[in-house]
Amino acid sequence: MDRLDFRLLAGEMDPDSFASLASRAEKVRDDLIEGRCAGSDYLGWIRLPRTARADLDAIRECAERLRGEVEDLVVVGIGGSYLGSRALLEAFAEPGRRGGMRIGNGPEIHFAGEHLGGARLAGLLRRLEDRRFAVNVISKSGTTLEPSVAFRLLRGELVARFGAEADRLIVATTDPERGALRGMAEDRGWTSFAIPPDVGGRFSVLSPVGLLPLAVAGLDVGALLEGAGKELERFLSKDSPEENPAMNYAMHRQHFYGKDLAVEVLSTFEPELFLLGDWWAQLFGESEGKEGKGIFPAAARFTTDLHSLGQYLQDGRRQLFETFLRVDQAADALVVPESDDEGDGLGELAGRQIHQLNRAAEEGTIRAHSGSGMPVMAITIPEITPEALGGLVGFFEGACAISALMMGLNPFDQPGVEAYKREMKRLLEVR
């Protein structure tokens, strides 16, 4: 297998329903390709695997400079400004000694600005004491409260410790022409990268938003773009919905939604992909949760959650369907060791690879959940590589756009996000 695969494992769709959904899906895909869909001003994500290559040399040059100068990089952003890069980083990184993540001997990567927890921010500042660090602040406007607070703290620390040299240690990823952060970057001479104006935050991981921190970590961002480009090309092709995984997935989501199944659980047994569920949840939640409509996206981390949420998934109210995110080939060969003391009951498993146990748990869970009457789908990538995960990003973005458009929604706005900001400003008595 050299590319992503989608399959329906349990949950029948009759031929008439499939034909009707296929016709709707093809219509909205054609509208999207021709720029006639709702939110057509924000279709730049489709072209990112090609257009982002124009920034690759500058991104790699900046990344190599930072890799040679700093021990840590703090990525400051919220929502789409950090979820994608953090998810992809976790797939390849190991925990760092300072609480971040790192690949090989690269800088340790930390994330800030995604919350307003003072104790957590103070802890980050303590972990960075006596460390030479840089900051990549990501925001279209530069005025979103959570990242603005974190950036002010981190910038103050840089200035206090490095003086005028602090400006060399700040990289801004922001609007190409306007906004507070763009103004600060130009006034201070910070290295900066542009967020394409026609790309929304949750679709931006393949832009400098995600590519720069991943390049600093040491990930092959060219391969990431290559994988995404192949899958998006596949999505945009005129293949029939049966042969188009992203469209097929979107159609089945709408089929189950039409049967009043309004919760989708994305389940994976691969710890490397756990955080990808958070990115997926934002992508679909912000794109579909409007006008009293939408499928609620929930991510499950197995086998961990089988000992908690697993009870509900197996025997609870049938208001949901489940999608398994699977990996065809395991990378490790770790085995259960032999032991003179078999009191733990593992005697018959000694010598077996850990991934074999994980695969048995996965297959057993699929059988149990589908056997309980839950509709079950599977998305499989060949292995965990930058190209494969790039393909997965392209797949989910295409499927999300089709699914939301089939609901009659604009996939690319998020009007409800502003509600809490208005109420918070009233409470804080700020404009």
Q: Which residues are catalytic?
A: 286, 307, 421
Distance (Å, rounded) from C-alpha 130 to C-alpha 142? 28
Both tokens of 127, joined, read: 């972990």
Distance (Å, rounded) from C-alpha 90 to C-alpha 101? 7
Distance (Å, rounded) from C-alpha 193 to C-alpha 181? 11
Q: What is the 3-state secondary structure (H, E, C) of the chain?
A: CCCCEEEEEECCCCHHHHHHHHHHHHHHHHHHHCCCCCCHHHCHHHHHHHHHHHHHHHHHHHHHHHHHHCCEEEEECCHHHCHHHHHHHHCCCEECCCCCEECCCCCEEEEECCCCCHHHHHHHHHHCCCCCEEEEEECCCCCCHHHHHHHHHHHHHHHHHHHHHHHHHEEEEECCCCCHHHHHHHHHCCEEEECCCCCCHHHCCCCHHHHHHHHHHCCCHHHHHHHHHHHHHHHHCCCCHHHCHHHHHHHHHHHHHCCCCCEEEEEECCHHHCCHHHHHHHHHHHHHCCCCCCCEEEEEECCHHHHCHHHHHHHCCCCEEEEEEEECCCCCCCECCCCCCCCCCCHHHCCCEHHHHHHHHHHHHHHHHHHCCCCEEEEEECCCCHHHHHHHHHHHHHHHHHHHHHCCCCCCCCCCHHHHHHHHHHHHCCC
Distance (Å, rounded) from C-alpha 246 to C-alpha 43? 17
Beta strand pairing call for 101-102 and 94-95: antiparallel
With contact defined as beta carbons under 8 Å apart, do 384 and 270 qualify?
yes
With contact defined as beta carbons under 8 Å apart, do 74 and 133 qualify?
yes
